[in-house]
Structure 1
């Protein structure tokens, strides 16, 4: 639970950094490279989300083999109370509920849009004609995207305008804009709580349309007026589907027409914009990758038994104390590695007469809250042999100190204390 929450918080922080950087630099990118460069700059967001998940060459995690030895026993009845679910579980459940709600609403909107299309008929130009018009023309679909036009497409647009409209939608398909919309939908589901994501999604879709307009009109600069006329003929009065690239875009109609009036850009500013974009992505991606930690040195994890195990068992009138068959090491938290935090967590594990774990509690911790969750999770995975009294398995408790250290010298210091 804690790892998932930590992952979401770190990803949200980097998502916010990326959105703010793009908001500040967007006017510069537009001036240097136009709408196409501004649209490509949105690659920064998935880069910042993926970079911290890439493995780092350091630090090297050296795990000390955990000894399978007799451990100290604390005699007494085993309590039946387990760990109560805390706030991490509540947070994860709320997040999952939000993801489900957003996904359901998006699926419902997409399904309603496709049902409103009605019957689709193949056209000679490679597009499909719908019997209804919930916001067409548009590129519809993800795996097999199709260009769908409205029932009045032939009467509303001239033949030249039809060619420009279809070329616009083909450019969407050729450059994978439908896949980009799919990634955006996934991000909107996973980060439904992020306050900056709605603005980023609207700005992304606007840049997508502006970039597609620029790609479509670039080979035909003399047809700008014709292209603008086609835009004016189609006004979007319907809600857009989450998985469609719409030709009609009334909210940014003025911006799209203004873009058509721009002259051809010179080579030098265009190259400068590309260099700026690549440098921004590489530098911020490197910072995000390095942020996952790694302060140098070697981390070690060790668990040591109490030296008085047999004496404790004798005082408790036990023939044999609880024994541990297999102890897989806990995970050294990334945040602790980054801050070079060390500590000792002493656990009390209640083991039933059948050798199963009934409860795990933290008795003491030199650095409270840092290693507790990982230590308890590891103890629950270990296998145990129950204590014996008069030759019969009985319930008992075992106390296990676990030492987290950054190098072997620190481990020896902790163990010798």
Structure 2
């Protein structure tokens, strides 16, 4: 799991950085709805990055090599510690989300407040679309006394636009990504930017054909909500989020000046990122050497060999080339030494380690296949600077 999480960080971080930049500097030029739709690239890239491509698995035809040192790199124990830390973080955040959802659910009045899909709640401080799958509009008990009738109508319209945009689904996806990759600080910065784009897109839709007086009423309602809302980032986007207030008021006040050129450039960047991610998943097709058959994928579990004490004492370095099979379940089998230097020094250590390695089974036609005659070279190095894993 840790290896999988690490493998997602490159494309995820690049996408989030670009989207955060777009939200901070280019929303007005790209358009509120266009910028909001760009966030769909995050789940799309994660999905593409994890497509199996089993039917295209072709050997790379270069021998897999791994460095072995006195102080080995990340091993099974280290991975277990990292996995435990990740799982604790996921559990805490998930528990908070569940607790928040349950307590809010039981705070909801059973009778509609002013509209058929709006209900009072003692838990909310600002109007919000609540629920992941069947959302309802929640409003605080002081809603009628705080806002005028025109403002109430605009606020309810705003929350219903969220519903029409399927924002409750997108919020579920956003929270899922945040929970899964909670250790990446960019995820939390991006979550805030995502919320801002979401609210700006909703404001733009509500006010598209409204008069100046209605826009002024709407802006006043935003300010009133912000005065009574929490300053922290809520689990659900609320109408009066303080974090989005300035940008939303500026967007209402400033005329739109969208740039078609910038939009075209943005679409080109998205297309390049998507294409690059797809191509990165397709193995290269090179001519196979008669002497070398290689495993097409790195191990999902790798136990670093023990560096023999006699070799450390004699300042001995070397390598071992092993031939092995990968079974239908991903375990190694039929391990034998093809070549080693110095002879017999590192052989036993290498075999014991490779016996514990685990690979992702090769799937073809929905069936797991055995892979035979694969090669791996373990390089035993005493120099810490040479501890680099090659694939």
Structure 2-normalised TM-score?
A: 0.68
State the distance in 2 between where 1:371 and 1:6 align: 23
Superposed CA RMSD: 4.1
Counterpart secondary structure, 2:237: strand
Runs of at least 5 residues in structure 1 that lack an aligned partner in the other structure: 63-83, 305-329, 337-342, 349-356, 382-400, 406-417
2:44 is aligned with 1:47: yes
2:229 is aligned with 1:237: yes
Q: Is the contact made by 1:138 and 1:246 (CA closer than 8 Å) also made in structure 2? A: yes
Q: In structure 1, what is the equivalent of residue 66 of structure 2? A: none
Say which one has the larger Rg: 1
Which of 291, 294, 301 is equivalent to 2:283? 294
Q: Is the contact made by 1:332 and 1:404 (CA closer than 8 Å) also made in structure 2? A: no
Q: In structure 1, what is the equivalent of residue 157 of structure 2? A: 167
Q: Is the contact made by 1:61 and 1:300 (CA closer than 8 Å) also made in structure 2? A: no
State the distance in 2 between where 1:299 and 1:104 align: 51
What do residues 329-359 of structure 1 show as CA deviations (whole Å, max 9, x unaligned)? x9631599xxxxxx952469xxxxxxxx9x9
State the distance in 1 between where 2:147 and 2:6 align: 49
- Structure 2 matches for 1:31-180, cutoff 5 A? 31-56=28-53, 59-61=56-58, 85-115=76-106, 117-123=107-113, 125-180=115-170
Q: In structure 2, what is the equivalent of residue 18 of structure 1? A: 15
State the distance in 1 between where 2:116 and 2:288 align: 61
Pick closer, same or farther for the CA change 1:221–1:163 going to 2, 3 Å.
same
Counterpart secondary structure, 1:220: coil
Counterpart secondary structure, 2:111: strand
Residue 135 of structure 1: CA displacement? 2.0
- Structure 2 matches for 1:11-410, cutoff 5 A? 11-26=8-23, 29-56=26-53, 59-61=56-58, 85-115=76-106, 117-123=107-113, 125-222=115-212, 223-235=214-226, 236-238=228-230, 239=232, 241-242=234-235, 244-265=236-257, 269=259, 271-292=260-281, 294-297=283-286, 332-333=296-297, 344-346=321-323, 376=356, 402-404=373-375
Structure 1-normalised TM-score?
A: 0.64
State the distance in 2 between where 1:98 and 1:130 align: 33
Runs of at least 5 residues in structure 2 that lack an aligned partner in the other structure: 60-74, 301-319, 326-330, 362-371, 377-391
Pick closer, same or farther for the CA change 1:281–1:366 going to 2, 3 Å.
farther
Query: 4+ residue runs of structure 1 moved beyond 4 angstroms?
Result: 55-60, 298-304, 359-379
Pick closer, same or farther for the CA change 1:372–1:216 going to 2, 3 Å.
farther
